[in-house]
Amino acid sequence: MSSDAAVQNNPSKMSEETEATYSIGELAKHFDVTARSIRFYEEQGLLSPTRDGQNRIYSKKDKVRLKLVLRGKRLGFSLAETKTLFNLYDSHQNSEAQLQTMLSMTKLKRAKLLQQLDDINILMQELDDVEARCKDELNQFNKG
């Protein structure tokens, strides 16, 4: 049996011999983002695909990083903050420094969001006041 046939008959052997790779289109579809966004993240140094001619070939590591970029974005982290975490991980995998940095960034993000929530609550109260005054004045017009 050739090694190709052995790989086809044994999927676990395939994963040992070849790492899963993805095209830009596959990642874009999987994460519901545009290829342009993925290229932008690459330009920012967050992803580093290999190339086969003009085609980008993304590894499992790139897929995981894209997932983390999108999660960080959803949580309000900047790309620079995400890149800082990636750099810490690349230089010290499973390090205390990475965890401390993440905790610090999370604490700052939480404080900022709480301040924004307070600001929103103040604005909502002001809108309620304006709305009540408008309704009162409309009632005066309707009575007169």
The domain spans of the chain are 1-77, 92-144
Distances (CA, A) of 97 to 10, 18, 59, 75, 105: 41, 33, 26, 21, 12
pLDDT at 143: 86
Q: What are phi and psi of 58, to 5 degrees?
A: -95, 140
pLDDT at 2: 42
Is 0.85 topped by the overall pTM? no
Report the C-alpha gap between 43 and 60 in whole angstroms.
Answer: 18
- The more confident residue out of 6 and 76 is 76
Yes or no: say if 96 and 56 are a contact pair by the CB < 8 Å rule.
no
Classify domain 1-77 at the CATH topology level.
Answer: Multidrug-efflux Transporter Regulator; Chain: A; Domain 2 (1.10.1660)
pLDDT (tens digit per residue) in 85-112: 888 888 876 678 888 888 999 999 999 9
